[in-house]
Amino acid sequence: MGSKGGPLFTMATETLLLFSRHRFLAYLLFVLYRNLADCQQFIIPFKSPSDCGADEFFDISSLSCSRCGSNQRQSSTGFSCICQPGYRTTNVIPDKVSITCEQCPTNRPAVTKDGFGCVRCPGTLSDEGKCQCPPGHILVERDINGNPLNEARCEACNSNSPALSLADIRGDRCERCTSTFINSSCVCTAPNVPAGGLCFPSGILSTNVNPSVNYAQLKFSVQSAWFVANLYSSSAACLVYSNLTACQALGNMCVMNMHSFGGLSADACGLFNTVYRSKAALSSVQDIAYWKVDLPWLFYGDEPGLASRVLQTDPVPTVFSFRGRNKNTVIELLAAIYDVRGEFLRWEQVGGSNLQIAAHRASNQIKFVHPALGCFLWVAVED
Ligand SMILES: *[C@@H]1O[C@H](CO)[C@@H](O)[C@H](O)[C@H]1NC(C)=O
Ligand SMILES: *[C@@H]1O[C@H](CO)[C@@H](O)[C@H](O)[C@H]1NC(C)=O
């Protein structure tokens, strides 16, 4: 056992247990296991990638640190080795244990982005030993046919119309900038507000949103990292750009917030209501007055918050009978499936193989669940 109460693995008939910190408990369980069954014990030292040195990598197959080859160092993930700055990779098919590295000549001291070539830089070198270009420029290391250049070039991307281009994330191609950045010459500068990868005009929606999820019935609320990252940008993109994906994501967040409606608060449902009101004058969908164009249908009446009351006190009818004239009726259940980001994924037939029996309440009541969707259906069978 580790002298500092270090972690311990006990392997007992297909059971791998990891104990850390609680040395006493670990010891107790260890003894218990030893007495419990006639099984083999294996103890291996616990190592994590952060335990490996700068010239070692964490070998995921042996769960231990292994040494890198010469002129190599740990990669950024820690799971492999890369050449040191100023050294290029010479193997055609490198793998983590057997890359080989060769120093670049002094007249071409930088390593190309792909790691395989040596090149002269028009400007400065980064700490990684690669060429660096000023902001708004891309690095060109090959000619148009793919032949490596002896000296790399930095080319400026033209952000004016009709080019409207911007360096891509790898910094090696000028690409048309995304539509929400076009009004501001491809950069989202103040007073515009960048959020969620989009650019918003200032003053359309306060950035001071409330990212908490309120469980009113359980009387507690938590701050959601998902809401912190996406609530403002989804609301703004839905409001300003009528972005359907963002509107669905905002609707999902209101539902995740249990339709709670705090009145003045800029929480998910409050923001949904803000967008909803901004569309009041527009037409409705499918002749349903409370289903506004571009938005999912969340409000069951003009009154925000009604949905949560309906859910709690006056549930929508979910009981169907097959008696009398309805004999031999078939109910087809269809689910519209969206991911949490609001992307429509598919229609899915509910029933058959994707409904599983989960519980029996009385002898004639059966609960079915849809494991992937997490929704369930009670079916009462009558004679
Ligand atoms: C972008 O500019 C056009 C024309 O100047 C304007 O009509 C439009 O409202 C602007 N869009 C945004 C989101 O600022
Ligand atoms: C719509 O919103 C989504 C999610 O916020 C975003 O990823 C996407 O880029 C937006 N589309 C456009 C055209 O702005």
Q: Same domain, yes or no, for 297 and 343?
A: no
CA distance 86 to 58: 23
Q: What is the pLDDT of residues 254-271, one digit of tens each?
A: 988 878 776 667 999 899
| Model confidence, pTM | 0.61
Q: Worst-scoring range by mean pLDDT, 12-16, 18-22, 62-66, 113-117? A: 12-16
Residue nearest to atom 6 of ligand 1 (CA): 183
pLDDT > 60? residue 33: no
d(C-alpha 13, C-alpha 37), whole Å:
9
Which range is least confidently modeled, 239-243, 283-287, 288-292, 351-355?
A: 351-355
pLDDT at 178: 86
For 220-236, how does the pLDDT look when each residue is reduced to its tens digit (9 = 90+)? 888 988 999 999 999 99
Q: Is the pLDDT of residue 295 over 90?
A: yes
Q: Is residue 94 part of a domain?
A: no
Asked whether residue 1 is assigned to any structural domain, the reply reads yes
- Residue 88, in any domain of the structure: no
pLDDT tens for 325-345 read: 877 777 778 888 888 787 888
Query: Can you give the residue range of the structural domain that contains 301?
Result: 212-313
Question: Is residue 87 one of the residues assigned to a domain?
Answer: no
Domain boundary among 286, 313, 340: 313
In a domain, 226, yes or no: yes
Name residues whose C-beta falls within 8 Å of residue 29's C-beta, 6 or more positions apart in sequence: 10, 17, 19
Domain closes at, from 127, 159, 177: 177
Q: Is the pLDDT of residue 281 over 90?
A: no
E strand or H helix at 30, and its extent?
Answer: helix 23-36
Tell me, in angstroms, the distance from the centre of ligand 1 to residue 95's CA: 50
Q: What is the rounded distance in angstroms from the CA atom of residue 33 to the CA atom of residue 39?
A: 8
Nearest CA owner, ligand 1 atom 13: 201
Instruction: Give the pLDDT band (50/70/90) at residue 317.
Output: low
Residues 286 and 226 in one domain: yes
- Based on the domain organization, do 111 and 151 belong to the same domain? yes
Residue 69 within a domain: no
Q: Which of 254, 283, 313 is the last residue of a domain?
A: 313
Residue 277 lies in a domain: yes
Nearest atom (ligand 1) to Cα of 241? 13
The preferred substitution site among 183, 188, 238 for testing ligand 1, maximizing ligand atoms within 8 Å of CB, is 183
Please give the pLDDT value at position 265.
Answer: 75
Assess if residue 365 is contained within a domain: yes
Any residues with CB less than 8 A from the CB of 189 and at least 6 apart, and which? none
Q: What is the domain count for the chain?
A: 4
Query: In this structure, are 300 and 249 located in the same domain?
Result: yes
Q: Which atom of ligand 2 is nearest to the CA of 241?
A: 14
3-state SS class at 221: strand
pLDDT at residue 311 in the model: 66
Q: Which atom of ligand 2 is nearest to the CA of 233?
A: 5
Q: Which residue has the higher pLDDT, 351 or 264?
A: 351
